[in-house]
Chains A and B, each alone.
Chain A
Amino acid sequence: MSERVNRRELIARLGAAAAALATAGAIGRAAYDRGGYDVSHARGERQVRDFTTASPSSDLKMAIAKSSHEAEVLVRRAVDALGGMKKFVSRGDIVAIKPNIGWDRLPIHAANTNPLVVAEVVRLVLDAGAKQVIVTDASCNEPNRCFQRSGIWRATHAVGATVILPAAHLFRDLRLRGDVLDIWPVYTPLVNADKVINVPIAKHHNLSKFTGGMKNWYGLLGGRRNRLHQNINVSIADLATFMRPTLTILDATRVLLRNGPQGGNIDDAKDVFQVIASLDPVAADAYGATLIGVEPAAVEYLQIGMQRGLGNSNWEKVNHVEV
């Protein structure tokens, strides 16, 4: 006669089987995926990054410094005219500075922001009491080359900035919910700061005609940026709507007149010796466009920006001062 299982074994085996079934069921239930169209479409409200500080009494919006041939002096005069960096940066802030470090070009080619301008901004922000100053950009060319050969790495590291090079893990998806830009990978060091200062350079651009502060926010995006060109003006406006910097400091010490946006020929650039500090990103770009001989009215994204209330493209009508 064959041996029968005893009660203890029966209970143990039934229990083990039940536990295995229950575990499988629980995993299945927890991980169940209903599928369907909306699974791949993130939902949620538009995310905006507004770093503007309420400017109290003064309605001075823009300062154009043109009274020196030294980049540092121009930056200081422009910022001081707006009330000094302390007005924008609080003690203990983490401040992100976004120059244009897009191209593997030397400072003389005027394809990237002048390193002296960026370094001076870093110095002013640190003097204003910031805890940390981050200098970064998501470059077009290979970042190591861009950061080193633009001279910005060396110049800003020397005055105490934290220079971050772009890397894949630093991009996270955000919901821009613009007219053409919906969900895009955004470069986190630029949006996770307390204050953000945009330090672009005034350049020629064949498609959008002029590139300055608003288009500088291309450096905020990862992913397939090359699609943006199909509707460049609206995408620039979308980006400027998403990203509201504390301050825009437009470098026009040396501007790129043609072959933009990367130039490459010394003859393509021209010394202008101006720096514009502005609370109105549209007005700063409009003034910058005039410096490379482009009529602001012909730059479509400036018009769209004005319609959206981001600023005023008639820079003469903006309350400004020349120093």
Chain B
Amino acid sequence: MTGAGNSALSVSATSLAGTEPWPQPIPWRGQLGPVAALDNFDRAGNVIAPISNSASYQRKIVAASGESISKIPTTVAEVNAPEVRTSSKVLRGIADTIASVFGRMFQRKLSKRAGSGIPARLVIRVLVWVRRASQTIFIALFLWLLANTAFRGTFSAKASEPVRLPWPVEVFLLADPYVAIMTLLSTHTLYRGLAVAGIVTVITIVFGRVFCGWICPFGTLHHFFGWIFPSRYLRGNKRVNANKTHAWQITKYYLLVAFLGAALFGSAIGGLLDPICISVRAIGLGVFPVLQYIGIRTTDIVAGTRVHAVQALSDSIQAELARNVWTSNQVYYHQTWLIVFSLIAILFMNRIIPRFWCRALCPLGALLGVVSRFALFGMKKDHEKCTDCNLCLVHCQAADSPQGGVKHRQDECHVCLNCEAACPEDVIRWGFLPNRKSSTQAPNWERRTLIASAAAGAVALPGMRIANWPDKAYNEKVIRPPGAVEERDFLNRCIRCAECMKVCPNNALHPAFFEAGIEGMWTPILIPRIGYCEYSCVLCGQVCPTGAIQKITEKEKLGIGQKPISIGTAMYDQGRCLPWAMATPCIVCEEFCPTSPKAIWVEEVTVPKRDDRYQGKGEQAAMTTVKLQRPHVDPSLCIGCGACEKACPIVDKPAVYVTSAGESRSRTNVILLENTNYSRKS
């Protein structure tokens, strides 16, 4: 590690200086002074520009080069101009144009440059910025699609047009190979759009884990948080050590096989730790509603000023947000505190271990790590050149051993290219078909632990199901969305991505806590108390990426010429119902019942009632009679939508409530003998 690395530097310096060779092969260790002095030399050893105009600084350079100060070019243009002109290659010209856009920042603020300060190869400098642009674009796309995971009507649609979302809002989930392989193992099929996951797989086979470093919105979130909130305790040597490869990084591979083992035995519970699922769940059900709350609260306070112009402004801001970002009413999600808390905790971990999630836990990253062994592009290292400056480790995202002396971990690498951008010695280089001597491709897992993990995942499942067997322990609160498949198949497919909950126009779908057993955590359940299932809406099935909720049509849901889809049955609590218990007219439930004929029918009765003019002056209360309509449910017509429960004026514990009994997806959780005459008109 002595002379070779700086040969180019020496030669160029020599040509610049005329006669004298460069005083030291590793200048920053020697006489040249502070490391920052090297800012004035590019990779080829040419002087590019002095960052300081101070006389003492320039004297140092003069002393080093043995030239008089008049011969040193002093402006960027002066230095770069001849270099560009002498280059006759077209490619170089194009690359320079790009570099002048991206690279201008480098040349102006030399002291802020990452790493040694010596610019990396042009292609790397450009690619690092392309990577940043890619991360920005993909996270913006993700958030935009998430905000649009909601039905917003339009003036241009015809009344008869079926209501569907105009964008493939679930595309990030469809592109997720982990979701694809998990559901492939559990259902033995690849559900519709999940074929998109092939794109990410192909990209990984060619370029390695660029998904993690360039595309993944959750990865970008961690990258962003690590950059914007750097920890005071993670500087210098601590940071270098934190970014070295640690043995515990193998955890994610064991998690991956455990979840795949569980999938093989019939549960897509691995979705709990899928980064895209987490992003949709935590941002869609947590961050967005919180921002909405803050927005509503702020505009309410502003509206409280009672100045008409201010109120109008606040109203129009509210209207814009309600139309384009969220919905017209505040949304709530049942027990989401744990989801939000988990997000905060995992983001906070970046202050202790940078990108802890990506390095230690992410099963999708682990899957891509396995696939990336075939990658055609990658990093190779020339250990000889390394001066142990550790600048690569300061900027490394994935803790994939970019430094010299150890093998590069291709399975861990996110291809963020920060290492090469930082390296002053060309030790690590990105390129096509790198040699495999300086890197390892496969994860260094232990086979026994791997098998044990898969087995643990597989047996965890019956362990959880014994506590909550789908055929034995029916929980009346587990009302699944319309189009949901039978419970065991549902658990095969549901990855808890929360797309259905986000899209539900009535805020009716919520992540289950323990209602569906510990295995069913964060699977969707309908809570009619908060919102009912909109009669002709089929959007939850449209956005479901795995077919846990099938893509049903309105015709199938409403049962035109066939049996309608029922998600449960309404029951009356006659002790709480106004006409039944309190001789008071009501039947809002009947008004809201959407089926035709209505599943709620009323019997007209005349019942005695205490005269409400009775003032209680000691005498016997006078009695009167009142005509009432008492509601009943026809279970053969009830579809369990919960509109009655939502409309019931007894809000805390409604007098009419829906339970999952009679759901048409189940062949055991049923009430009635079937009536197969579906030919009635509607």
Which A residues are closer than 8 A to B by beta carbons?
Answer: 104, 106-107, 115, 140-145, 147-151, 153-154, 157-158, 163, 165-170, 205-207, 224, 226-227, 229-232, 259, 261-268
Docked-complex contact B328 and A224, CB < 8 angstroms: no
Cβ–Cβ < 8 Å partners of A205 in chain B: 591
- Smallest CB-CB separation from A143: which chain B residue? B328
Docked-complex contact A148 and B153, CB < 8 angstroms: yes
Docked-complex contact A145 and B586, CB < 8 angstroms: no
Docked-complex contact A229 and B537, CB < 8 angstroms: no
Known: A141-B534, A144-B153. A224 touches B651 (CB 8 A): yes
Known: A169-B300, A230-B649, A265-B682. A147 touches B595 (CB 8 A): no
Please choose the segment from B22-30, B158-166, B337-345, B396-404 that sits at the chain A interface, where 4 or more of its residues have CB less than 8 A away. Answer: B158-166
Shortest CB-to-CB span from A156 to chain B, Å, is 8
Cβ–Cβ < 8 Å partners of B322 in chain A: 165, 167, 169
Interface pairs (15), CB distance under 8 Å: A106-B159, A107-B159, A145-B536, A148-B157, A149-B160, A149-B536, A154-B156, A157-B155, A158-B155, A165-B323, A167-B328, A205-B591, A226-B647, A231-B585, A262-B592
- Smallest CB-CB separation from A263: which chain B residue? B596
Docked-complex contact A170 and B315, CB < 8 angstroms: yes
Complex Cα distance, B500 from A17, in Å, reads 58
Complex Cα distance, B681 from A259, in Å, reads 14
Docked-complex contact B296 and A169, CB < 8 angstroms: yes
Shortest CB-to-CB span from A128 to chain B, Å, is 23
Docked-complex contact A206 and B318, CB < 8 angstroms: no
Docked-complex contact B596 and A264, CB < 8 angstroms: yes
Docked-complex contact B588 and A229, CB < 8 angstroms: yes
Docked-complex contact A166 and B328, CB < 8 angstroms: yes
Cβ–Cβ < 8 Å partners of B588 in chain A: 226, 229
Docked-complex contact B158 and A168, CB < 8 angstroms: no
- Smallest CB-CB separation from A189: which chain B residue? B315
B629 within 8 A of partner (CB): yes
Shortest CB-to-CB span from B252 to chain A, Å, is 41
Cβ–Cβ < 8 Å partners of B629 in chain A: 206-207
Complex Cα distance, B300 from A232, in Å, reads 32
Interface residues on B, range: 35 or more
- Smallest CB-CB separation from A140: which chain B residue? B592
**Interface 0/1 of B529-569, CB less than 8 Å to A:** 00000111100000000000000000000000000000000
B261 within 8 A of partner (CB): no
B41 within 8 A of partner (CB): no
- Smallest CB-CB separation from A146: which chain B residue? B153
Chain B residues numbered 317-338 whose CB sits less than 8 Å from any CB in chain A? 318-319, 322-323, 328-330
- Smallest CB-CB separation from B330: which chain A residue? A168
Cβ–Cβ < 8 Å partners of B157 in chain A: 148, 153-154
- Smallest CB-CB separation from B154: which chain A residue? A148
In the complex, besides A141-B535, A230-B585, 18 extra interface pairs with C-beta distance below 8 angstroms are A104-B535, A106-B159, A142-B151, A145-B163, A148-B159, A149-B536, A153-B153, A153-B157, A154-B156, A154-B157, A158-B155, A169-B296, A207-B585, A207-B590, A226-B648, A229-B585, A262-B591, A266-B681
Complex Cα distance, B537 from A181, in Å, reads 33
Instruction: Please name the 6 residue pairs, one residue from A and one from B, whose CB atoms are nearest each other, closest first.
Output: A151-B159, A264-B596, A144-B153, A167-B328, A157-B155, A148-B153
- Smallest CB-CB separation from A224: which chain B residue? B649
Complex Cα distance, B158 from A237, in Å, reads 36
Complex Cα distance, B323 from A144, in Å, reads 10
The contact of A142 among B303, B534, B602, by CB within 8 Å, is B534
Shortest CB-to-CB span from B299 to chain A, Å, is 7
- Smallest CB-CB separation from A170: which chain B residue? B315
Cβ–Cβ < 8 Å partners of A232 in chain B: 585
B598 within 8 A of partner (CB): yes
Known: A154-B158, A167-B318, A169-B315. A147 touches B153 (CB 8 A): yes
Cβ–Cβ < 8 Å partners of B330 in chain A: 168
Shortest CB-to-CB span from B559 to chain A, Å, is 12
B632 within 8 A of partner (CB): no
Complex Cα distance, B629 from A206, in Å, reads 9
Docked-complex contact B537 and A207, CB < 8 angstroms: no
Complex Cα distance, B534 from A144, in Å, reads 11
Cβ–Cβ < 8 Å partners of B319 in chain A: 167, 169
Known: A206-B629, A226-B649. A151 touches B158 (CB 8 A): yes
Cβ–Cβ < 8 Å partners of A163 in chain B: 155
Complex Cα distance, B330 from A143, in Å, reads 14
Docked-complex contact B158 and A229, CB < 8 angstroms: no
Known: A167-B322, A168-B329. A144 touches B587 (CB 8 A): no
Docked-complex contact A259 and B505, CB < 8 angstroms: no
- Smallest CB-CB separation from A163: which chain B residue? B155
Complex Cα distance, B584 from A169, in Å, reads 33
Cβ–Cβ < 8 Å partners of A144 in chain B: 151-153, 505
B594 within 8 A of partner (CB): yes
Cβ–Cβ < 8 Å partners of A145 in chain B: 151, 153, 163, 505, 534, 536-537
Cβ–Cβ < 8 Å partners of B152 in chain A: 144
Known: A229-B588, A230-B578. A115 touches B159 (CB 8 A): yes
B597 within 8 A of partner (CB): yes
Docked-complex contact A104 and B153, CB < 8 angstroms: no
- Smallest CB-CB separation from B315: which chain A residue? A169
Shortest CB-to-CB span from B612 to chain A, Å, is 11
**Interface 0/1 of B642-661, CB less than 8 Å to A:** 00000111010000000000
Cβ–Cβ < 8 Å partners of A104 in chain B: 534-537
Shortest CB-to-CB span from A196 to chain B, Å, is 19
Docked-complex contact B537 and A142, CB < 8 angstroms: yes
Complex Cα distance, B629 from A153, in Å, reads 36
Cβ–Cβ < 8 Å partners of B598 in chain A: 259
Cβ–Cβ < 8 Å partners of A115 in chain B: 159
The contact of A265 among B328, B505, B681, by CB within 8 Å, is B681
- Interface-central residue, B329, B330, B534, B591, by most chain A CB under 10 Å: B591
Known: A168-B296, A207-B585, A229-B587. A150 touches B597 (CB 8 A): no
Complex Cα distance, B585 from A150, in Å, reads 30
B136 within 8 A of partner (CB): no
- Smallest CB-CB separation from A165: which chain B residue? B328
Complex Cα distance, B323 from A261, in Å, reads 28
